[in-house]
Structure 1
Amino acid sequence: MHPFTFLLPLVPLITALPAPFAAPPNIPTTSAAQTQLSGLRVAPQGSQTGYSRDLFPHWTTQSGACNTREVVLARDGTNVVRDSSCAAVSGRWYSAFDGATWSAASDVDIDHMVPLSNAWKSGAASWTTSRRQQFANDLTNPQLIAVTDNVNQEKGDKGPEAWKPPLASYHCTYSKMWIKVKSVYGLSVTSAEKSALQGMLNTC
Protein backbone atom coordinates (compact mmCIF):
# COMPACT_ATOMS: atom_id res chain seq x y z
CA MET A 1 0.00 0.00 0.00
CA HIS A 2 1.32 3.43 -0.86
CA PRO A 3 2.46 5.22 2.32
CA PHE A 4 0.51 8.34 1.43
CA THR A 5 -2.81 6.57 1.00
CA PHE A 6 -4.00 7.69 4.43
CA LEU A 7 -3.16 11.31 3.68
CA LEU A 8 -5.70 11.58 0.90
CA PRO A 9 -8.56 13.90 1.86
CA LEU A 10 -11.70 12.13 2.97
CA VAL A 11 -14.95 13.27 1.39
CA PRO A 12 -17.69 13.32 4.02
CA LEU A 13 -20.94 11.56 3.28
CA ILE A 14 -23.69 14.15 3.11
CA THR A 15 -27.29 13.14 3.53
CA ALA A 16 -29.26 15.35 1.20
CA LEU A 17 -32.12 17.21 2.78
CA PRO A 18 -35.45 17.08 0.99
CA ALA A 19 -35.84 19.66 -1.74
CA PRO A 20 -38.23 22.46 -0.82
CA PHE A 21 -41.75 21.12 -0.81
CA ALA A 22 -44.87 23.18 -1.18
CA ALA A 23 -46.56 24.23 2.02
CA PRO A 24 -50.28 24.74 2.52
CA PRO A 25 -51.35 28.32 1.76
CA ASN A 26 -51.89 31.25 4.10
CA ILE A 27 -49.91 30.06 7.13
CA PRO A 28 -49.85 33.13 9.37
CA THR A 29 -46.78 34.77 10.85
CA THR A 30 -46.06 33.99 14.48
CA SER A 31 -47.36 37.37 15.62
CA ALA A 32 -50.53 37.04 13.55
CA ALA A 33 -51.11 33.54 14.92
CA GLN A 34 -50.65 34.84 18.46
CA THR A 35 -53.28 37.50 17.85
CA GLN A 36 -55.63 34.93 16.32
CA LEU A 37 -55.10 32.52 19.22
CA SER A 38 -55.94 35.25 21.72
CA GLY A 39 -59.16 35.90 19.82
CA LEU A 40 -60.44 32.32 19.83
CA ARG A 41 -63.43 31.56 22.03
CA VAL A 42 -62.60 29.12 24.82
CA ALA A 43 -65.37 26.62 25.55
CA PRO A 44 -65.80 22.93 26.39
CA GLN A 45 -66.17 20.65 23.41
CA GLY A 46 -69.70 20.08 22.26
CA SER A 47 -71.36 16.72 21.78
CA GLN A 48 -70.35 14.15 19.18
CA THR A 49 -74.02 13.25 18.80
CA GLY A 50 -75.19 13.32 15.21
CA TYR A 51 -71.67 13.52 13.76
CA SER A 52 -70.86 11.73 10.52
CA ARG A 53 -68.08 12.30 8.01
CA ASP A 54 -70.81 12.22 5.38
CA LEU A 55 -72.04 15.55 6.76
CA PHE A 56 -68.76 17.04 5.49
CA PRO A 57 -68.76 16.15 1.77
CA HIS A 58 -65.07 15.85 0.97
CA TRP A 59 -62.79 15.21 -1.98
CA THR A 60 -65.22 17.03 -4.21
CA THR A 61 -64.40 17.78 -7.84
CA GLN A 62 -62.20 20.84 -8.24
CA SER A 63 -61.45 20.91 -11.97
CA GLY A 64 -62.06 18.40 -14.73
CA ALA A 65 -61.39 14.93 -13.31
CA CYS A 66 -59.38 16.28 -10.36
CA ASN A 67 -60.85 16.08 -6.88
CA THR A 68 -59.52 17.83 -3.77
CA ARG A 69 -57.23 14.96 -2.79
CA GLU A 70 -55.52 14.92 -6.18
CA VAL A 71 -55.10 18.70 -6.15
CA VAL A 72 -53.37 18.57 -2.76
CA LEU A 73 -51.17 15.65 -3.83
CA ALA A 74 -50.01 17.67 -6.83
CA ARG A 75 -49.54 20.82 -4.74
CA ASP A 76 -47.58 19.19 -1.92
CA GLY A 77 -45.48 16.79 -4.01
CA THR A 78 -42.63 17.19 -6.45
CA ASN A 79 -42.47 15.80 -9.99
CA VAL A 80 -46.02 14.52 -9.67
CA VAL A 81 -47.32 12.76 -12.78
CA ARG A 82 -51.05 12.21 -13.13
CA ASP A 83 -52.97 9.90 -15.44
CA SER A 84 -56.03 10.79 -17.50
CA SER A 85 -58.28 10.37 -14.46
CA CYS A 86 -56.06 12.81 -12.50
CA ALA A 87 -54.74 10.08 -10.20
CA ALA A 88 -51.11 10.60 -9.15
CA VAL A 89 -49.11 7.72 -10.64
CA SER A 90 -45.65 8.92 -9.59
CA GLY A 91 -43.93 11.66 -7.65
CA ARG A 92 -42.31 12.35 -4.29
CA TRP A 93 -44.03 13.51 -1.14
CA TYR A 94 -42.33 14.83 1.96
CA SER A 95 -44.41 14.44 5.11
CA ALA A 96 -43.76 17.45 7.34
CA PHE A 97 -45.32 15.68 10.33
CA ASP A 98 -42.62 13.00 10.57
CA GLY A 99 -39.93 13.89 8.01
CA ALA A 100 -40.56 10.84 5.83
CA THR A 101 -40.45 10.92 2.03
CA TRP A 102 -42.69 8.70 -0.09
CA SER A 103 -42.78 7.82 -3.78
CA ALA A 104 -46.24 6.21 -3.88
CA ALA A 105 -49.39 8.27 -3.47
CA SER A 106 -50.97 5.31 -1.68
CA ASP A 107 -48.58 5.92 1.25
CA VAL A 108 -49.88 9.47 1.64
CA ASP A 109 -53.06 10.72 3.27
CA ILE A 110 -54.52 14.20 3.01
CA ASP A 111 -54.88 15.36 6.60
CA HIS A 112 -57.58 17.75 7.68
CA MET A 113 -55.54 19.99 9.96
CA VAL A 114 -58.57 20.55 12.17
CA PRO A 115 -60.27 17.13 12.00
CA LEU A 116 -63.89 17.04 10.90
CA SER A 117 -65.00 15.53 14.20
CA ASN A 118 -63.16 18.22 16.16
CA ALA A 119 -64.81 20.89 14.03
CA TRP A 120 -68.22 19.35 14.64
CA LYS A 121 -67.70 19.55 18.41
CA SER A 122 -66.37 23.11 18.27
CA GLY A 123 -69.04 24.78 16.17
CA ALA A 124 -69.58 23.00 12.85
CA ALA A 125 -72.58 21.02 14.12
CA SER A 126 -74.68 24.14 13.49
CA TRP A 127 -73.29 24.81 10.00
CA THR A 128 -75.03 24.22 6.70
CA THR A 129 -73.84 21.28 4.60
CA SER A 130 -72.42 23.78 2.13
CA ARG A 131 -70.27 25.37 4.84
CA ARG A 132 -69.06 21.96 6.00
CA GLN A 133 -68.20 21.02 2.42
CA GLN A 134 -66.17 24.22 2.07
CA PHE A 135 -64.32 23.39 5.29
CA ALA A 136 -63.56 19.81 4.24
CA ASN A 137 -62.17 20.88 0.85
CA ASP A 138 -60.52 24.19 1.78
CA LEU A 139 -57.62 24.92 -0.55
CA THR A 140 -57.40 28.58 0.47
CA ASN A 141 -56.44 28.12 4.11
CA PRO A 142 -53.89 25.72 5.69
CA GLN A 143 -56.51 23.05 6.37
CA LEU A 144 -55.23 20.29 4.04
CA ILE A 145 -51.74 18.77 3.92
CA ALA A 146 -50.26 15.57 2.44
CA VAL A 147 -48.65 13.43 5.15
CA THR A 148 -47.65 9.83 5.90
CA ASP A 149 -50.84 7.77 6.02
CA ASN A 150 -50.24 5.92 9.30
CA VAL A 151 -49.19 9.16 11.04
CA ASN A 152 -52.45 10.76 9.93
CA GLN A 153 -54.34 7.73 11.22
CA GLU A 154 -52.49 7.99 14.53
CA LYS A 155 -53.61 11.61 14.80
CA GLY A 156 -57.22 10.67 14.09
CA ASP A 157 -59.51 13.36 15.46
CA LYS A 158 -57.21 14.38 18.31
CA GLY A 159 -56.52 18.01 19.10
CA PRO A 160 -53.02 19.36 19.90
CA GLU A 161 -53.60 18.74 23.60
CA ALA A 162 -53.64 14.99 22.84
CA TRP A 163 -51.44 14.65 19.72
CA LYS A 164 -48.55 16.54 18.17
CA PRO A 165 -46.51 15.77 15.04
CA PRO A 166 -43.59 13.39 15.78
CA LEU A 167 -41.22 15.97 14.25
CA ALA A 168 -40.89 18.53 17.04
CA SER A 169 -39.39 21.09 14.66
CA TYR A 170 -42.79 21.26 12.94
CA HIS A 171 -44.74 22.12 16.09
CA CYS A 172 -44.46 25.85 15.42
CA THR A 173 -45.94 25.60 11.92
CA TYR A 174 -48.54 23.04 13.02
CA SER A 175 -49.86 25.36 15.71
CA LYS A 176 -50.02 28.32 13.31
CA MET A 177 -51.99 26.27 10.79
CA TRP A 178 -54.43 24.96 13.42
CA ILE A 179 -54.95 28.43 14.88
CA LYS A 180 -55.52 29.97 11.45
CA VAL A 181 -58.19 27.43 10.51
CA LYS A 182 -60.04 27.75 13.81
CA SER A 183 -59.89 31.52 13.53
CA VAL A 184 -61.15 31.68 9.94
CA TYR A 185 -64.09 29.40 10.71
CA GLY A 186 -64.93 30.82 14.14
CA LEU A 187 -64.43 27.49 15.88
CA SER A 188 -63.90 27.34 19.62
CA VAL A 189 -60.98 25.80 21.51
CA THR A 190 -60.89 24.08 24.87
CA SER A 191 -58.63 25.49 27.59
CA ALA A 192 -56.30 22.47 27.25
CA GLU A 193 -56.21 22.91 23.48
CA LYS A 194 -55.40 26.61 23.78
CA SER A 195 -52.63 25.88 26.28
CA ALA A 196 -51.12 23.24 23.96
CA LEU A 197 -51.28 25.63 21.01
CA GLN A 198 -49.57 28.36 23.01
CA GLY A 199 -46.81 25.97 24.03
CA MET A 200 -46.23 24.97 20.42
CA LEU A 201 -46.35 28.59 19.26
CA ASN A 202 -43.70 29.41 21.84
CA THR A 203 -41.27 27.17 19.93
CA CYS A 204 -41.39 29.47 16.90
Structure 2
Amino acid sequence: MKYTFTLAALLPAVTVLAAPTPPGIPTATAARTALAALTVSTNADDGLYERDLFPTWITIEGTCNTREYVLKRDGTSVTVGTDCYPTSGTWTSPYDGGKWTAPSDVDIDHMVPLKNAWISGANKWTTAKRQQFANDVTRPQLWAVTDNVNQSKSDKSPDSWKPPLASFYCVYARSWIQVKSYWALSITTAEKSALTTMLNTC
Protein backbone atom coordinates (compact mmCIF):
# COMPACT_ATOMS: atom_id res chain seq x y z
CA MET A 1 0.00 0.00 0.00
CA LYS A 2 1.31 3.37 -0.98
CA TYR A 3 1.00 6.44 1.27
CA THR A 4 1.34 9.97 0.00
CA PHE A 5 2.29 12.77 2.38
CA THR A 6 2.03 16.44 1.58
CA LEU A 7 4.37 18.99 3.10
CA ALA A 8 1.39 20.71 4.72
CA ALA A 9 0.47 17.50 6.52
CA LEU A 10 3.94 17.29 8.03
CA LEU A 11 4.09 20.88 9.24
CA PRO A 12 2.71 21.85 12.66
CA ALA A 13 -0.52 23.82 12.69
CA VAL A 14 0.02 27.54 13.06
CA THR A 15 -2.37 29.53 15.20
CA VAL A 16 -2.75 33.20 14.41
CA LEU A 17 -3.44 35.09 17.60
CA ALA A 18 -5.79 38.04 17.46
CA ALA A 19 -4.85 41.28 19.15
CA PRO A 20 -5.96 41.42 22.79
CA THR A 21 -9.39 42.91 23.36
CA PRO A 22 -11.13 44.38 26.41
CA PRO A 23 -13.16 42.00 28.58
CA GLY A 24 -16.92 41.63 28.73
CA ILE A 25 -17.86 41.67 25.03
CA PRO A 26 -21.22 39.87 24.78
CA THR A 27 -22.29 37.45 22.09
CA ALA A 28 -24.36 38.84 19.23
CA THR A 29 -27.44 37.12 20.65
CA ALA A 30 -26.93 38.65 24.09
CA ALA A 31 -26.27 42.05 22.49
CA ARG A 32 -29.53 41.89 20.52
CA THR A 33 -31.43 41.09 23.72
CA ALA A 34 -29.72 43.96 25.57
CA LEU A 35 -30.35 46.38 22.69
CA ALA A 36 -34.07 45.60 22.75
CA ALA A 37 -34.15 46.42 26.47
CA LEU A 38 -32.40 49.80 26.24
CA THR A 39 -34.45 52.95 26.75
CA VAL A 40 -34.93 54.85 23.51
CA SER A 41 -35.20 58.61 23.91
CA THR A 42 -33.92 61.91 22.58
CA ASN A 43 -30.49 62.92 23.87
CA ALA A 44 -30.73 65.67 26.48
CA ASP A 45 -27.85 68.07 25.84
CA ASP A 46 -28.03 70.65 28.62
CA GLY A 47 -24.86 72.38 27.41
CA LEU A 48 -23.11 71.73 30.71
CA TYR A 49 -20.80 68.90 29.65
CA GLU A 50 -17.13 69.26 30.55
CA ARG A 51 -14.57 66.50 30.30
CA ASP A 52 -13.37 67.26 33.84
CA LEU A 53 -16.73 65.99 35.08
CA PHE A 54 -15.41 62.49 34.19
CA PRO A 55 -12.05 62.30 36.04
CA THR A 56 -9.35 60.34 34.18
CA TRP A 57 -6.86 58.69 34.48
CA ILE A 58 -6.92 57.16 37.98
CA THR A 59 -4.54 54.60 39.47
CA ILE A 60 -5.87 51.18 38.50
CA GLU A 61 -3.21 48.67 39.43
CA GLY A 62 0.10 49.15 41.22
CA THR A 63 1.67 52.27 39.72
CA CYS A 64 -0.43 52.00 36.53
CA ASN A 65 -3.03 54.60 35.73
CA THR A 66 -5.93 53.67 33.46
CA ARG A 67 -4.20 54.63 30.23
CA GLU A 68 -1.04 52.71 31.12
CA TYR A 69 -3.09 49.71 32.25
CA VAL A 70 -4.93 49.53 28.91
CA LEU A 71 -1.72 49.99 26.92
CA LYS A 72 -0.20 47.08 28.81
CA ARG A 73 -3.37 44.97 28.53
CA ASP A 74 -4.06 45.50 24.84
CA GLY A 75 -0.54 45.54 23.42
CA THR A 76 1.70 42.61 22.53
CA SER A 77 5.20 42.08 23.94
CA VAL A 78 4.75 45.18 26.11
CA THR A 79 7.48 46.09 28.59
CA VAL A 80 7.05 48.89 31.08
CA GLY A 81 9.26 50.97 33.31
CA THR A 82 8.93 51.30 37.09
CA ASP A 83 6.38 54.05 36.49
CA CYS A 84 4.32 51.61 34.34
CA TYR A 85 4.76 53.67 31.17
CA PRO A 86 5.49 51.33 28.22
CA THR A 87 9.09 51.29 27.01
CA SER A 88 8.37 48.92 24.13
CA GLY A 89 5.51 46.98 22.57
CA THR A 90 3.20 46.76 19.57
CA TRP A 91 -0.38 47.92 19.40
CA THR A 92 -2.88 46.99 16.69
CA SER A 93 -5.84 49.36 16.45
CA PRO A 94 -8.99 47.29 15.90
CA TYR A 95 -10.81 50.28 14.42
CA ASP A 96 -8.51 50.63 11.41
CA GLY A 97 -5.90 47.88 11.58
CA GLY A 98 -3.05 50.33 12.19
CA LYS A 99 0.03 48.90 13.93
CA TRP A 100 2.07 51.11 16.24
CA THR A 101 5.21 50.73 18.31
CA ALA A 102 5.19 54.17 19.94
CA PRO A 103 2.68 54.63 22.79
CA SER A 104 2.29 58.26 21.73
CA ASP A 105 0.64 57.07 18.49
CA VAL A 106 -2.05 55.28 20.49
CA ASP A 107 -5.10 56.83 22.16
CA ILE A 108 -7.31 55.16 24.73
CA ASP A 109 -10.80 55.54 23.31
CA HIS A 110 -13.96 55.47 25.36
CA MET A 111 -16.23 53.17 23.36
CA VAL A 112 -19.19 55.24 24.53
CA PRO A 113 -17.72 58.76 24.48
CA LEU A 114 -17.95 60.78 27.67
CA LYS A 115 -20.13 63.47 26.14
CA ASN A 116 -22.45 60.87 24.65
CA ALA A 117 -22.77 59.36 28.11
CA TRP A 118 -23.50 62.81 29.54
CA ILE A 119 -26.37 63.49 27.14
CA SER A 120 -27.81 59.98 27.53
CA GLY A 121 -28.07 59.95 31.31
CA ALA A 122 -24.70 60.53 32.98
CA ASN A 123 -25.50 64.18 33.64
CA LYS A 124 -27.61 62.89 36.54
CA TRP A 125 -24.77 60.86 38.05
CA THR A 126 -22.39 61.81 40.83
CA THR A 127 -18.82 62.69 39.90
CA ALA A 128 -17.71 59.47 41.61
CA LYS A 129 -19.92 57.39 39.31
CA ARG A 130 -18.72 59.28 36.25
CA GLN A 131 -15.14 58.56 37.32
CA GLN A 132 -15.96 54.85 37.49
CA PHE A 133 -17.46 55.03 33.99
CA ALA A 134 -14.48 56.89 32.53
CA ASN A 135 -12.04 54.32 33.95
CA ASP A 136 -14.09 51.14 33.43
CA VAL A 137 -11.66 48.32 32.62
CA THR A 138 -14.15 45.57 33.46
CA ARG A 139 -16.36 46.12 30.42
CA PRO A 140 -15.44 46.81 26.75
CA GLN A 141 -15.38 50.57 27.29
CA LEU A 142 -11.66 51.36 26.86
CA TRP A 143 -9.79 50.56 23.63
CA ALA A 144 -6.24 51.22 22.45
CA VAL A 145 -6.65 52.75 18.98
CA THR A 146 -4.89 54.92 16.41
CA ASP A 147 -4.86 58.49 17.75
CA ASN A 148 -6.24 60.28 14.68
CA VAL A 149 -9.01 57.69 14.29
CA ASN A 150 -10.04 58.39 17.87
CA GLN A 151 -10.03 62.11 17.11
CA SER A 152 -12.18 61.47 14.03
CA LYS A 153 -14.69 59.59 16.17
CA SER A 154 -14.75 62.31 18.84
CA ASP A 155 -18.09 62.15 20.70
CA LYS A 156 -20.07 60.60 17.83
CA SER A 157 -22.47 57.67 18.19
CA PRO A 158 -22.72 54.80 15.64
CA ASP A 159 -25.34 56.59 13.54
CA SER A 160 -22.79 59.28 12.67
CA TRP A 161 -19.44 57.43 12.92
CA LYS A 162 -18.34 53.86 12.31
CA PRO A 163 -14.87 52.27 12.44
CA PRO A 164 -12.95 52.37 9.13
CA LEU A 165 -12.83 48.54 9.20
CA ALA A 166 -16.29 47.18 8.36
CA SER A 167 -15.08 43.81 9.67
CA PHE A 168 -15.07 45.33 13.16
CA TYR A 169 -18.70 46.52 13.05
CA CYS A 170 -19.97 43.42 14.85
CA VAL A 171 -17.60 43.72 17.82
CA TYR A 172 -18.05 47.49 17.91
CA ALA A 173 -21.84 47.24 18.15
CA ARG A 174 -21.73 44.46 20.74
CA SER A 175 -19.31 46.48 22.88
CA TRP A 176 -21.27 49.74 22.58
CA ILE A 177 -24.48 47.98 23.57
CA GLN A 178 -22.85 46.26 26.54
CA VAL A 179 -21.54 49.55 27.93
CA LYS A 180 -24.86 51.35 27.47
CA SER A 181 -26.73 48.42 28.98
CA TYR A 182 -24.55 48.05 32.08
CA TRP A 183 -24.54 51.77 32.78
CA ALA A 184 -28.27 52.14 31.98
CA LEU A 185 -27.73 54.85 29.38
CA SER A 186 -30.36 55.62 26.78
CA ILE A 187 -30.03 55.43 23.00
CA THR A 188 -31.68 57.40 20.23
CA THR A 189 -33.80 55.92 17.47
CA ALA A 190 -31.04 56.58 14.92
CA GLU A 191 -28.45 55.02 17.22
CA LYS A 192 -30.57 51.88 17.66
CA SER A 193 -31.05 51.57 13.91
CA ALA A 194 -27.30 51.89 13.27
CA LEU A 195 -26.48 49.34 15.97
CA THR A 196 -29.03 46.90 14.55
CA THR A 197 -27.46 47.23 11.09
CA MET A 198 -23.99 46.66 12.53
CA LEU A 199 -25.18 43.61 14.46
CA ASN A 200 -26.48 42.18 11.20
CA THR A 201 -22.85 41.83 10.09
CA CYS A 202 -22.16 39.35 12.88
Q: Same fold (TM over 0.5)?
A: yes
**TM-fit CA distance, 1:19:** 4.0
Match of 1:13 in 2: none
Match of 1:191 in 2: 189
Matches within 5 A, 1:71-90: 71-90=69-88
Match of 1:99 in 2: 97
The letter for the 2-side match of 1:191 is T
How many residues are paired up?
A: 188
Residue-by-residue CA offset, 1:53-105 (whole Å, 9 max, x unaligned): 10000110112321000000011000111111111111000100001111111
Match of 2:57 among 56, 59, 78: 59
Match of 2:178 among 177, 180, 195: 180
CA distance in 1, matches of 2:105, 2:161: 21
Match of 2:6 in 1: none
- Percent identity of equivalent pairs: 60
Residue-by-residue CA offset, 1:9-38 (whole Å, 9 max, x unaligned): xxxxxxxx9742111101000100000000
Matches within 5 A, 1:111-130: 111-130=109-128
Structure 2's unaligned 5+ residue stretches are 1-14
Structure 1's unaligned 5+ residue stretches are 1-16
Matches within 5 A, 1:36-55: 36-55=34-53
CA distance in 2, matches of 1:203, 1:31: 12
CA distance in 1, matches of 2:107, 2:92: 12
The letter for the 2-side match of 1:84 is T
RMSD over aligned CA atoms reads 1.2
CA distance in 2, matches of 1:196, 1:46: 19
Query: SS where residue 109 of structure 2 aligns?
Result: strand
Match of 2:168 in 1: 170
Residues 70 and 18 of structure 1, relative CA distance in 2, 3 Å threshold:
farther
Query: SS where residue 104 of structure 2 aligns?
Result: helix
CA distance in 2, matches of 1:146, 1:167: 15
The letter for the 2-side match of 1:144 is L
Query: SS where residue 89 of structure 1 aligns?
Result: strand
Q: TM-score, normalised by structure 1?
A: 0.90
CA distance in 2, matches of 1:195, 1:19: 32
